[in-house]
């Protein structure tokens, strides 16, 4: 008998909870002042969520997906890979806002979740986990290197 989606989700959640790092996820929505392409914008803080996640360096040549995004210039060598539990319902959408990830409690490092390569892995229609990339967030502007 095979493994069910709920068993797989429970196993992944246990792994992330046991081996992961606590992180703070803060969303910021973009608020535009006009309808023109050059309208000014500001950011409005949305929700803050505490969760566990797994952070890894990029796999380089051993990871076909990492290598492809690196070659396309969509991610950088010093970016990190992040795995999140499927129960979080995270979706970074380019141009709609920014998701900042603070690693640790209190956060010692701050990263931006990148929309490039973000993927939900599903089984039987249920999200088991999310895999994505994040970049060190430079203090000052939310939108540097965007």
Please state the domain extents for the chain: 5-136
Please name which of 99, 102, 129, 103 lies closest in space to residue 114, comparing C-alpha atoms. 99
DSSP string, 94-130: TTTEEEEEEETTTTSEEEEEEEEEEEEEEETTEEEEE
For the chain, give the percent of residues with pLDDT over 70: 76
Q: How far apart are CA 54 and CA 62, in angstroms?
A: 19
Backbone angles phi and psi of 125, in degrees to 5? 80, 0
pLDDT of residue 144: 43
Binning pLDDT at 50, 70 and 90, where does residue 145 land? very low
Predicted TM-score (pTM) of this structure: 0.79
Q: What is the pLDDT of residues 108-138, one digit of tens each?
A: 888 988 888 888 999 989 999 999 999 998 7
Q: Please say whether the structural domain 5-136 has been given the CATH code 1.10.287.
A: no
Mean per-residue pLDDT for 13-37? 80
pLDDT tops 50 at residue 11? yes
């Amino acid at each position: 008998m095979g493994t069910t989606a709920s068993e797989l989700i429970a196993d992944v959640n246990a792994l992330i909870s046991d081996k992961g790092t606590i992180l703070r996820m803060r969303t910021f929505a973009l608020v535009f002042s006009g309808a023109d392409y050059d309208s000014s914008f500001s950011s409005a803080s949305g929700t803050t969520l505490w969760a566990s996640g797994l952070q890894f360096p990029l796999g380089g040549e051993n990871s076909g997906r990492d290598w492809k995004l690196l070659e396309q210039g969509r991610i950088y060598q010093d970016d990190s890979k992040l795995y999140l539990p499927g129960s979080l319902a995270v979706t970074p959408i380019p141009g709609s806002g920014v998701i900042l990830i603070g690693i640790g409690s209190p956060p010692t490092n701050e990263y931006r979740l990148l929309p490039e390569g973000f993927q939900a892995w599903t089984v039987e229609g249920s999200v088991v986990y999310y895999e994505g990339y994040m970049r060190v967030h430079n203090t000052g502007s939310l939108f540097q290197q965007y």
